[in-house]
Structures are given as structure tokens and as C-alpha cells.
Amino acid sequence: MSIERLDLQDWQLNAAPDPAWQAALEDGAVLYCPNLCFALSSSEQHYLDPSLTNQKRKSIYIRGDSATLYGTDASANDQEGLLAMLTRYRSASMHLLTQMFPGYGPAMRPAGTSFRPRPTGTGEAALSWRKDDTRLHVDAFPSNPTRGLRILRVFSNVGTSARVWRVGESFEDMARRFVPNISAPLPGFAALIHSLGITKRKRSAYDHYMLHLHDRAKADLGYQRDCAQQRIEFAPASSWICFSDQVMHAAESGQYMIEQTIHLPRAALAYPEHSPLRILERMAGRELLPAAET
């Protein structure tokens, strides 16, 4: 586990990027920028209100590069303001990453931008251990297989209290613990659940292992308690960046965060041997994606 502190103060870099940032990021570090603030305007401060979300949603969000807002029944006026805030965050975070990691540049695909006005651990998370992100996990989603696209995320704390994470052991150490007990995918199962509309695309063997790692770690309370981990407080007005499909993370407490998710093709990685796909393939002794996609 590693937390690297970066002294960035602006979403526009004023110097050349440090190549060590990319090496650390791809090695599974969280890049913490304590002085990188996503400032809300005085009218946006009004959105620091958990009642703006729909009852069942934990976030208000836009998808991809679209301009349709989901997750709120706010007034038309407020929806317009929320959409503008999320769109501005998407632009700022994509611009920052393009400067920090020039090799990712045009390969980056915005996957979603969300505003989370509720305290962590409430809503859906309180009902299901699988959705409980206060437990250490790597990101993997049952209905949305990535087929090897990396999940890169930028987070900003826009509230007035710290957002507290626990960050766990390395991906490889975690995988070594759980993979031996995960059965291989059942032949035909991925095609079946895709044909039934349960998954948005066909789940690859890689997605199968990632999903089981997410579930096994969350289900194992002894592991949650005893594994190597450190606690980190992301201060108000700070930001941080990580590959959330690689960093074991748990959102222990906090409220009011904005987050950008980016899907990154593996071809853009400088150190693909450090990626979850390659680590799992080395452990499995075989390829986990069809050859055409590797």
C-alpha cells in the first residue's frame, strides 16, 4: 500500500509532469493532492444537501460524455446547476490527467461523473454487504464487465469534514490470498447472463476473477479486520487519484465528494506487468481475455 503526496494546487499544471507519478499510480499508489481544491461557487454550496438524491441512490451522476443527469428529483433549476457542476468537474479532471499522464491522453474515456452528498455507509450500502464500500475492496461491477479496461478515478472532497479511507495491502498480496479458492468460470455462463441482459457485455475470465475478488474480500470480516492496512484522512478541499480496480480501498466515513471515473485501455499503460490483468494471468498460468483483446 502506498500513499504518495503531490503538491499540486491547480487543475492546470504549471510545470512538466513528473514521470514518477505514472510509475507510482500504475504500481497501485494513491496520489494524494492535499492542496488541490475543486472550489464550489456560492450557488453550488447550496447543493451540499443529501436530500437532493433520490431515495435509493447514493449519487447524482452523468454518464460518459453525455449531458443527462440521473439520481435526483431536484427542481429543473437545480438540475441545471448540478449538471453544470458535474460537467465542470469532468472537464477539470480529464484536463488534469491529460497533463499528468500524457501517454494516456486521447485513450482516456470518461465513464461517469458523480456527486455523493450522503454520508458513506448509508442508503444501499446499509442493506447489502456487497454494496458496502466501507469494506476493503477493488472495484468490479456485476453488470458492467470492463473486459480489461482499467478503472482510473479522480476524487475531490467538497465538504467540510475529512473523508476517511482505509487502504489495504497490494493487489498481488490480496489476490494471492483469495484466488486459489475461486473456481474457474462455468462454460456458457457468461454468454447466458449476457443474453438475459444481466451484464452489459459478456463477462470475460478476467472480469470473473475481479468480481470474485471484490466479493471474497468484502465477505471476509477477519480479513477486513486483520489485513495490512492504513487509514488516511483526505482533508476538506483536497483531491486524490488512483486505479480503483487495483487499490484495496474502503470509504470509512465522509460526506460530499465529487468523483470522475475514466476507462483506460491497457495499451496506454506504461507498466502493464503491474496491472491486475497481468498479475492474475501470471497466477492462473493462462490468458484471461480473448487474444484479440490483449
> Which residue from 39, 92, 89, 43 is spatially nearest to 69, judged by alpha carbons?
89
Residues that bind Fe ion (CB under 5 A): 139
Closest to Fe ion by CB, 11 or 155: 155
Closest to Fe ion by CB, 11 or 153: 153
CA dihedral 134, 227, 165, 55 (to 10 degrees): -10
* Shortest distance in whole angstroms from residue 285 CB to Fe ion: 29
**Those residues with Cβ within 8 angstroms of residue 235's Cβ, 6 or more apart along the chain or in another chain:** 34, 157, 162
Closest to Fe ion by CB, 44 or 132: 132
* Shortest distance in whole angstroms from residue 23 CB to Fe ion: 23
Q: How far apart are CA 172 and CA 79, in angstroms?
A: 42
Nearest-CB residue for Fe ion: 139
Closest to Fe ion by CB, 208 or 214: 214
Between CA 105 and CA 144, with CA 155 as vertex, the angle to 5 degrees is 75
Q: How far apart are CA 169 and CA 2, in angstroms?
A: 9
Closest to Fe ion by CB, 26 or 139: 139
* Shortest distance in whole angstroms from residue 30 CB to Fe ion: 12
* Shortest distance in whole angstroms from residue 138 CB to Fe ion: 8
The amino acid occupying position 84 is A
CA dihedral 51, 260, 253, 80 (to 10 degrees): -20
Closest to Fe ion by CB, 40 or 71: 71
* Bridge partners, residue 165, by sequence: 232, 251
Name the grid cell of 68. Answer: 443527462
* Shortest distance in whole angstroms from residue 122 CB to Fe ion: 16
* Shortest distance in whole angstroms from residue 152 CB to Fe ion: 13
* Shortest distance in whole angstroms from residue 218 CB to Fe ion: 10
**89 within 8 A of 99, measured Cβ to Cβ:** no
Closest to Fe ion by CB, 203 or 249: 249
**147 within 8 A of 206, measured Cβ to Cβ:** yes
* Shortest distance in whole angstroms from residue 247 CB to Fe ion: 9
Closest to Fe ion by CB, 78 or 245: 245
**What is the 3-state composition of the chain as percent helix, strand, coil, each rounded to the nearest 5?**
35, 20, 45
- Please name the helix (run of DSSP H) or strand (run of DSSP E) that holds residue 206, with its range, or none: helix 205-219
Q: How far apart are CA 78 and CA 72, in angstroms?
A: 10
Q: How far apart are CA 89 and CA 287, in angstroms?
A: 37
